[in-house]
Amino acid sequence: MSSALAKALSVLEYLAYQPIGSAVSDIAKSLDMPISGVHRLLKELETLGYVRQVKGMGEYELTIKLASLGLAFLGQTGIGNISQPILDELAKETRELVRMSLADNDELVWVGVSQGSTSGLRYEPGADQGKIVHLASSAGGQAWLAAMTDEEAIALVMKQGLLKQPDPGKDAPATVADLLSVLNTVRENGYSVNANSYLDGMAAVAVAIKNPETGRPIGAVSIAGPSVRVTEEVIQTYVAPLKKAAEALGEASRATLYFSQRE
């Protein structure tokens, strides 16, 4: 990392996944930076209100300022207002977890969620919200990739990494050939479906959200749940409402400049 700005952003990104804070030495080791430099950056970020030092412990943690900026941005785009009713309706109908991911440059990010199951065995995705989606192993990632050419898809996967670290699902595509076979099946069916791929014990089905004017993929919407309950037979009953929701989300994207400005 060559600039102070890049280093500061890397510290913020690291702390985003450390909800209880992290010691200066741990941050420095993880980011391969000198302790003195990390300490100096933390003090500057503390002055700006982005981090704080945990009293009596010495660790540093993020304040809510960075999160509030992200929420303010999403609020101004109108993405939440136009998508949440659609996600809620799909979750109510399927009684499973529904998630929406949106494309951001060469990545896919989980930005919307609705939990349809109110009791029993559930998959709780709280820690995934705001995270970059692992493309090769997730149903949403596979649906998004399948809407591209093989060349475009493989380039994005190689940039991110074929296998999700540190714990790839036991049935996740292990080679480029495996992934290309998966993407061909997704194109034939019009949706992606997998089990024990992103996470052992979880099954999911997803459809790409496309710009209604250009046809380019702008995200994905998925339904996921425990694989003991979300079987292949059950997934087939989800396909039609999922495709309907993806089409509705694509049409709703017309209501925000966020997408039209990025085509």
* pLDDT value of position 256: 74
Comparing 101-110, 116-125, 206-215, 216-225, the range with the smallest average pLDDT is 116-125
CA 90 to CA 223: how far, in whole Å? 9
> Under CATH, domain 74-260 is a member of which superfamily?
GAF domain (3.30.450.40)
Please state whether beta strands 202-210 and 192-195 pair in parallel, antiparallel, or not at all (unpaired). antiparallel
The runs of H, that is alpha helices, within the chain are 4-15, 24-31, 35-47, 65-77, 79-94, 139-146, 150-160, 176-189, 232-252, 257-260
Share of the chain above pLDDT 70, in %: 90
Give the architecture (CATH level 2) of 4-67.
Orthogonal Bundle (1.10)
* pLDDT value of position 258: 64
Per-residue pLDDT tens over the stretch 231-251: 999 999 999 999 999 999 999
In this predicted structure, the answer to whether residue 201 has a pLDDT above a threshold of 80 is: yes
* pLDDT value of position 121: 52
Per-residue pLDDT tens over the stretch 60-101: 999 989 888 877 777 777 677 889 999 999 999 999 999 999
Q: Stretch 46-56: mean pLDDT, rounded? A: 89
Whole-number mean pLDDT of the chain? 89
Domain ranges for the chain, please list them: 4-67, 74-260
Per-residue pLDDT tens over the stretch 125-178: 556 777 899 999 999 999 999 999 999 999 999 999 999 988 899 999 999 999
Dihedral (Cα; 15, 259, 147, 210), 10-degree rounding: 120
Per 3-state DSSP, what percentage of the chain is helix, strand, and coil (rounded to 5)? 50, 20, 35
Q: Stretch 174-200: mean pLDDT, rounded? A: 97
* pLDDT value of position 84: 92
In this predicted structure, the answer to whether residue 179 has a pLDDT above a threshold of 70 is: yes
Q: Is the pTM of this model over 0.75?
A: yes
Angle at 196 (CA atoms; ends 249, 83), nearest 5 degrees: 15
Q: Are 130 and 13 a contacting pair, CB within 8 Å? A: no
In this predicted structure, the answer to whether residue 1 has a pLDDT above a threshold of 70 is: no
* pLDDT value of position 186: 98
Grade residue 2 by pLDDT with cuts at 50, 70 and 90: low
